[in-house]
A and B are shown apart, each in its own frame.
Chain A
């Protein structure tokens, strides 16, 4: 079955450490996204990528970095510069601008806790 796989599901980090969250999709989608969700809150866009080797900052990119070397993969690194990284992180993908009515498909999420 096609879908989006995020790993790990749970991650604990000590202060000052960088961590990388994995996101892989086999839907052949051009566009991929990372969102952050805090308890009881909505979604905030961190980064997105419409095509391989290109990505743009979202609303809360500070303290995060991404890469898009392959169409299927869009890893997110939470750096030590992110002051409050404890949150639920969601990866998503969609058809690109070739089909502008397509929906977002989401992974199951990764919960990061800073100790």
Chain B
């Protein structure tokens, strides 16, 4: 079946450091790919998405590119802030649009 793998956390960075959270997937066809963010005690919010190969999703300084050849969708940000501390989930929606598959989440802590 379809699956999503993302790097284990927690990830701890200093403010203004560069962030990469790796995400790879296994799926048939051409799934849509998403990054979600979850702040403590809240639901998940969509951070960005990409729906076809080579698409780049971006939002609030975060970026991720849909790489079909490496089945990856790595999340990057050039300069993190303390307010970016949260749990980040990589996810896919399958080729038929019925099922969503989530990675286990990566906790990010940014220190001032």
Chain A residues with CB under 8 Å of chain B are 4, 6, 31, 33, 40-43, 50, 90, 92, 94, 96-97, 99-109, 111
Q: Which 10 A-B pairs have the closest CB atoms?
A: A100-B97, A106-B43, A101-B51, A42-B104, A97-B97, A101-B32, A106-B44, A108-B43, A109-B43, A43-B102
Q: A99 — nearest CB in chain B belongs to which residue? A: B97
Knowing A100-B32, A103-B34, say if A50 contacts B98 (CB, 8 Å): yes
Collect the chain B residues with CB atoms within 8 Å of residue A42's CB. Answer: 89, 102-105
A40–B106 Cα distance when bound, in Å, is: 10
Knowing A42-B89, A43-B89, say if A104 contacts B51 (CB, 8 Å): no
Collect the chain B residues with CB atoms within 8 Å of residue A103's CB. Answer: 32, 34, 46, 49, 93
B69 touches A (CB below 8 Å): no
